[in-house]
Structure 1
Amino acid sequence: MDPLTLGGLVALATILVLFSGVSVAVGLLIVSAGFLIVFDGMRSLELMPEILFGKLDNFALLSIPMFIIMGASIASTRAGADLYEALERWLTRVPGGLVISNLGACALFSAMSGSSPATCAAIGKMGIPEMRKRGYPDGIAAGSIAAGGTLGILIPPSVTMIVYGIATETSIGRLFLAGVIPGLLLVALFMGWSLYATWKSGNTAVLSARSYSWRERLEILPRVIPFIIIIVGVLYAMYGGIATPSETAAVGALLCLMIAMVIYSLWSPRALWVVLRDSTRESVMILFIIAAAGVFSYMLSSLFITQSIAAWIGELEANRWVIMFAINIFLLVAGFFLPPVAVILMAAPILLPIITTAGFDPIWFAVILTINMEIGLISPPVGLNLYVINGIAPDISLRTILTGSLPFVACMVLAIIILCVFPGLATWLPDLVMGPAF
């Protein structure tokens, strides 16, 4: 059978299996095993265990559970509430300062935790009621938190970037740096739209706020500054050549646990057990998907599907930006139904040779891919962040949350366009800190 036709069958079978309700990892293994048996014989199954466990034989993977523990220890405390309150006290007299405080808190907390749902829950529990009390429209209050929560998979340290780096064998350090300026760009676009929408609503109640004394502003800082210092320290150790990503992640996880215990009195064995239990579950899920995706990639390569698709794209006379547009549509649709980690691990083996053949930078493309995944987090039918917001503010309808999130989706699309016009926004910082890649 022609490899391109076979690739279409693999795509169709994968969609059907994943929509059947099985987990992503199991679904990938079922599809891989089925096509290998049919087209390569039973002997191919002998290699599957070796490939499955061999994919996990990578020291860089250690950083994933460490960063997850780091985020879980922060998410289990009042760090999110304190971070929100600190920004609210400092920005309270700024017109529209409350929505800026919420988005800023989302950006910082998502950078510390790396979890979009945790960010939505931690900041939204305090931010949404306060914004509504001050007169902000429900759509802006809910949409800004839902969109702000997505920043966790772009702003470093990002587990999604680690997964992409492992899947494509690109530098994790470069990927982290590549997400900094685009992440700040998204924050600026989110803030700009929120302020415009607030002004357009004509509600002047948002300008009235309590005035805080300098003492009240300063007394909250000691509770949040240590976490920010850890993030900065982790990044400095990584880019200063002091330690590898895995080593810095381990130290960061330990320090975050210690600070959570000292500042927030997280001494209870039950509380610590919850942090470690949840971290282990999430880590195992991600690592299982990585292992299964390794088998899936082997199947695609063994049946010459990946090579044939890359060669077919290379022979097309279409403009490379037309190809990139088609890739973005594919990623957008995939992100509507699947979690970011699954999309990256399934799509990276196919897309990497295509984008390199078309002359695109894989580091720059990682940012484009990640923003597409962010859109999926606030878009139906999955849209995890939408349901988290609905859970913490059940009196706001899901339709209102979705309507409030759509302008932020437009901001993300605008960010992708800006990055296409100015790719240096993603590549300049990695080249400056670590030198040119080529």
Structure 2
Amino acid sequence: MEPLTIGLMVAFATVVVLFTGISVGTGLLVVATGFLLIFDGARSLQALPEIFFGELNSFALLSIPMFIIMGAAIASTRAGPDLYEALERWLTRVPGGLVVSNLGACALFAAMSGSSPATCAAIGKMGIPEMRRRGYPEEVAAGSIAAGGTLGILIPPSVTMIVYGIATETSIGRLFLAGVLPGLLLTGLFMVWAIYDTWRRGAASAVLSGARYSWRERVEILPRVVPFIAIIIGVLYAMYGGIATPSETAAVGALLCIAVAIVVYRMYRAADLWVVLRDSTRESVMILFIIGAAGVFSFMLSSLFVTQSVAQWIAALEVNRWVLMAVINLFLLVAGFFLPPVAVILMSAPILLPIITSAGFDPYWFAVIVTINMEIGLITPPVGLNLYVINGIAPDISLRKILVGSLPFVLCMALAIVILCIFPGLATWLPEAVMGEAI
């Protein structure tokens, strides 16, 4: 049977298996094992355990649980509400300032925690009721928080970028730097739209009913949030200053975040620390299991010559490279509708990377494009995890209203992709300026 035909069968079988509700990692293992057994015989299954555990035999993988512990320690405290309150106190008199402060809080908390759902829950619990109390439309309140939560997988330190680096064997440090300016660009686009939409709906005057804060009240909240921000800055400085590797800086960052949580937020009870470690272990094991399963899945595709045939077929297409990129973006967008970002990256990045590099695209720029596509999937149905998180903390706001409020931010993300295509230096300049040109 032709490898491309087998590839179509694999794609169909994977979709069917994952739609049964089975976990992503288990689904990939089932599909890979089944196709190897059918087309390559039982002898090929002997190598699967070695391949699975071989995928996990990487020092770089240590950074994943460490960064997750950092996020869990931050998410288990009042850092989110405090961050929101600090920005709200400083921006309350700015037109549309409450929306801007919510988006800014989402961007900062998402960068600290690396978790979109945690960001939505932490900022939304305070931000959505306050925006509604001030007269902001429900769509603006819910949609801005849902979209703001997605920024965590782009702004460093990002677990999604770590997974991309491991899957494609690219520098994690460069990937982090590549996400900085696009992350700020996307945050800025979100804020511009939110302010315009608030004004367009006639709700801009709602800000005037906000409380006035003295300079003392503005400054007194800062000590609660500055330590966490300082840790993130310190982690990035250690990484790019040549002081330590990403895994080492992640370990130190995790320890410092736990220490700050204990000292600043009095999280010294063993039960509180147990929750942080339990949740971190659960999420880390899930991601690592998907990484191992994706390695087996990639081995199956390679053994049946599916990967090579797909690459040759695409390379043989006589199309403009931007048409090719448009097709790849469409694929990533559709995949992101149904699968979590980690799964999409692990399944597609090893196949797509040789194609985009042969077409003359920068792999670090492409990582940013992939990540923004994954962000869109977080606020679009049928999965749209952030939509359901917002609905959970504000059940009286219908999913339809949350979706309507989120769709303009999807257009902002699409605009960001277009801007990055026109100005790729937004993603490539900072890594080259700090670390030199990639070899």
**TM-score normalised per structure 1:** 0.99
- Counterpart CA distance in 2 for 1:39 and 1:431 is 45
- Structure 2 match to 1:66: 66
1:210, CA displacement in angstroms?
1.1
- Counterpart CA distance in 2 for 1:135 and 1:33 is 56
- Structure 1 match to 2:293: 292
- Structure 1 match to 2:15: 15
- Structure 1 match to 2:86: 86
- Structure 1 match to 2:76: 76
1:92, CA displacement in angstroms?
1.1
- Structure 1 match to 2:421: 420
State whether residues 160 and 340 of structure 1, in contact with CA within 8 Å, keep that contact through their aligned partners in structure 2.
Answer: yes
- Structure 2 match to 1:400: 401
Is residue 171 of structure 1 aligned with residue 171 of structure 2?
yes
- Structure 1 match to 2:340: 339
State whether residues 87 and 104 of structure 1, in contact with CA within 8 Å, keep that contact through their aligned partners in structure 2.
Answer: yes
- Counterpart CA distance in 2 for 1:409 and 1:166 is 28
SS of 1:248's equivalent in the other structure is helix
1:206, CA displacement in angstroms?
2.6
State whether residues 186 and 415 of structure 1, in contact with CA within 8 Å, keep that contact through their aligned partners in structure 2.
Answer: yes
More moved, 29-38 vs 401-410: 29-38
- Counterpart CA distance in 1 for 2:188 and 2:273 is 36
1:215, CA displacement in angstroms?
0.6
State whether residues 146 and 385 of structure 1, in contact with CA within 8 Å, keep that contact through their aligned partners in structure 2.
Answer: yes
Aligned pairs for 1:206-221 (under 5 A) are 206-221=207-222
- Structure 1 match to 2:115: 115
Amino acid across the alignment from 1:124: G
- Structure 1 match to 2:189: 189
1:308, CA displacement in angstroms?
1.0
Q: Residues 231-260 of structure 1: CA distance to partner in whole angstroms, max 9, x if unpaired?
A: 000000000000000000000000000000
- Structure 1 match to 2:326: 325
- Structure 2 match to 1:242: 243
SS of 1:224's equivalent in the other structure is helix
Q: Residues 69-115 of structure 1: CA distance to partner in whole angstroms, max 9, x if unpaired?
A: 00000000000000000001111111111111000000000000000
Aligned pairs for 1:95-110 (under 5 A) are 95-110=95-110
Aligned pairs for 1:27-46 (under 5 A) are 27-46=27-46
SS of 1:194's equivalent in the other structure is helix
Structure 2 spans left out of the alignment, 5+ residues: none
Identity of aligned residues (%): 80
- Counterpart CA distance in 1 for 2:340 and 2:14 is 15
- Counterpart CA distance in 1 for 2:71 and 2:225 is 14
1:388, CA displacement in angstroms?
0.5
- Counterpart CA distance in 2 for 1:218 and 1:353 is 51
State whether residues 379 and 387 of structure 2, in contact with CA within 8 Å, keep that contact through their aligned partners in structure 1.
Answer: yes
Amino acid across the alignment from 2:244: A
- Structure 1 match to 2:201: 201
- Counterpart CA distance in 1 for 2:305 and 2:206 is 62
- Counterpart CA distance in 2 for 1:312 and 1:358 is 13
Amino acid across the alignment from 1:63: S
State whether residues 306 and 349 of structure 1, in contact with CA within 8 Å, keep that contact through their aligned partners in structure 2.
Answer: no
Amino acid across the alignment from 1:258: A
- Structure 1 match to 2:433: 432
- Counterpart CA distance in 2 for 1:409 and 1:146 is 11
Aligned pairs for 1:348-387 (under 5 A) are 348-387=349-388
1:40, CA displacement in angstroms?
1.1
1:207, CA displacement in angstroms?
3.1
1:291, CA displacement in angstroms?
0.2
- Counterpart CA distance in 1 for 2:29 and 2:56 is 15
1:35, CA displacement in angstroms?
1.0
- Counterpart CA distance in 2 for 1:206 and 1:94 is 8
State whether residues 93 and 207 of structure 2, in contact with CA within 8 Å, keep that contact through their aligned partners in structure 1.
Answer: no
State whether residues 379 and 402 of structure 1, in contact with CA within 8 Å, keep that contact through their aligned partners in structure 2.
Answer: yes
- Counterpart CA distance in 2 for 1:20 and 1:390 is 24
- Counterpart CA distance in 1 for 2:325 and 2:287 is 27
Q: Segments of 4+ in structure 1 off by > 4 A?
A: none
Structure 1 spans left out of the alignment, 5+ residues: none
State whether residues 96 and 207 of structure 1, in contact with CA within 8 Å, keep that contact through their aligned partners in structure 2.
Answer: no
SS of 2:381's equivalent in the other structure is coil
- Counterpart CA distance in 1 for 2:385 and 2:87 is 26
1:62, CA displacement in angstroms?
0.2
- Counterpart CA distance in 2 for 1:132 and 1:197 is 15
1:41, CA displacement in angstroms?
1.1
State whether residues 290 and 345 of structure 1, in contact with CA within 8 Å, keep that contact through their aligned partners in structure 2.
Answer: yes
Q: Residues 379-402 of structure 1: CA distance to partner in whole angstroms, max 9, x if unpaired?
A: 001100000000111111110000
- Structure 1 match to 2:145: 145
Is residue 313 of structure 1 aligned with residue 284 of structure 2?
no
State whether residues 26 and 292 of structure 1, in contact with CA within 8 Å, keep that contact through their aligned partners in structure 2.
Answer: yes
1:280, CA displacement in angstroms?
0.2
SS of 2:152's equivalent in the other structure is helix
1:302, CA displacement in angstroms?
1.1
SS of 1:380's equivalent in the other structure is coil
Provide the aligned length of Structure 1 versus Structure 2: 438
- Structure 1 match to 2:225: 224
1:208, CA displacement in angstroms?
2.7
1:8, CA displacement in angstroms?
0.8
State whether residues 310 and 357 of structure 1, in contact with CA within 8 Å, keep that contact through their aligned partners in structure 2.
Answer: no
- Counterpart CA distance in 2 for 1:18 and 1:390 is 24
- Counterpart CA distance in 2 for 1:196 and 1:324 is 31
Q: Residues 333-359 of structure 1: CA distance to partner in whole angstroms, max 9, x if unpaired?
A: 110111000010111122112111211
- Counterpart CA distance in 1 for 2:101 and 2:357 is 40
